[in-house]
Amino acid sequence: MKPLSKKSLVSKAAKTQDFRSNPVFPEDTRWMRAAIMTAKRGIGRSGVNPPVGCVLIGANGQLLASGNTGAGGVPHAESAALANLDDAGRIALRGGTAYVTLEPCAHHGKTPPCADALIAAGIARLVVALQDPDPRVNGNGLAQIVKKGIIVCLGVEAALSNESLKYFIHKIHNHKPYCSLKIAASLDGKIVLSDRKKRWLTGPKMRRYVHFLRSQADAIITGIGTVLADDPKLNCRNEGLENDSPPIFIFDRLLRIPTTAAVLQSPYPVTLFCGEAAPEQRRQALGDVGCVIVPLPGDADGQPDIGAALHYLGTRGINHALVEAGTGLVTSFLSANAIDCIYWTQSDHILGGDALPAVGQFASQTINAVAIFAENRYIQTHYQEIGGDRLIILQKPNANTGRTQA
């Protein structure tokens, strides 16, 4: 039997409109990977919306335009890509293909539905990596496009796209942000000498990497102990990323933070998680300098409950939070099983037995981060030497619960 041509396969798919079994062509992988690379520009910048990428290909196979989710989530990737077309590109797109890393939305939010925009653009084919698990979408966008006779292929490079969208997908499934923990430790697993004086443990190249991590997060979480001891800014100071510092959230049971603290110079209002017994005069004083005060129920130790704090962040659309804190809060987060990924940065310094450990249970152990965290079901996924220091990334298996349909 003579094999079907690409044109015949497309024609057959148009009749069946079964987007789970529609034909996939070699160039689909290439263009979807390009869309995924484009999507990464929006990580940490897309606000409550997922960082999506879109690539538009003309009917004759040429690249016409691309776009990603904009700052604060607007515009959506599809709208951004369509806006990048000139008059000739809009004509060339008719009968062409759109590659999108996540199912186009079909509901009215801050922007009109992207499904409508793609239909109006006259594409003949839509290739999507992942179905959107958001209940407002979850297949509705694909169904709307299919109804207009457009061929839809779902699942191209799904695993790769899942990695770039894992924070959003985790939040949708768990109703709380994906939490990463950054620890800067000595060779013996300590973070500071007993005098608590601030000293750099890792070198400038590793510190630049940490600033990049901040730019990829939607929120930074720290504790009052770190603020009082170090007076950090917790912003991103890498050249070109100065405007990508995320909002800051501080666990401060009694609202002890000084109104002159460096962290309060953040361009965003700083949120303080306090206990219900926090003094009213402190609430007023800190509110007067722009802080958002969020009283939370106490945990068994009387500290603001971590689960309640993460639920609050989830309701505010925070997809990814980076925890940078001292021994107490770090230990609490790990004990609460609230950390999904650990960035363990380690120098060759040895601080000695009286120094403070990175995590409470490490106090009397020589540190093998991989072995110790393995006891808590973390596995090493990456190792890299950066400027003489070591970066070890450990993750929970299945921390990304975004096994979306593909």
Distance, CA of 278 to CA of 313 (rounded, Å) = 20
Name the nearest CA neighbour of 206 among 341, 344, 340, 323: 344
Contact between residue 274 and residue 296 where contact means Cβ atoms under 8 Å apart: yes
**Which active-site residues does the annotation give?**
78
Element (H, E) at 222: strand 219-223
Residue 315 Cα distances to 47, 63, 70, 176, 318, angstroms: 13, 38, 21, 8, 8
Distance, CA of 103 to CA of 212 (rounded, Å) = 28
Residue 25 Cα distances to 8, 9, 323, angstroms: 13, 10, 42
**DSSP secondary structure of 46-67:** STTS---EEEEE-TTS-EEEEE
Name the nearest CA neighbour of 363 among 143, 227, 194, 132: 194
CB within 8 Å of 370: residues ≥ 6 apart:
380, 392, 394
Name the nearest CA neighbour of 42 among 11, 2, 73, 81: 73
Tokens of residue 275, six digits: 């206990």
CA angle in degrees (0–180, nearest 5) for 195-201-203: 150
**Cα-flanking dihedrals φ and ψ of residue 383, to 5°?**
-140, 135
Contact between residue 294 and residue 287 where contact means Cβ atoms under 8 Å apart: no
Residue 99 Cα distances to 184, 312, 372, 375, angstroms: 40, 34, 43, 42
Q: Which residues on neighbouring strands pair with residue 74, listed in sequence order?
A: none
Residue 383 Cα distances to 130, 293, 341, 343, angstroms: 29, 39, 14, 10
Distance, CA of 125 to CA of 119 (rounded, Å) = 10
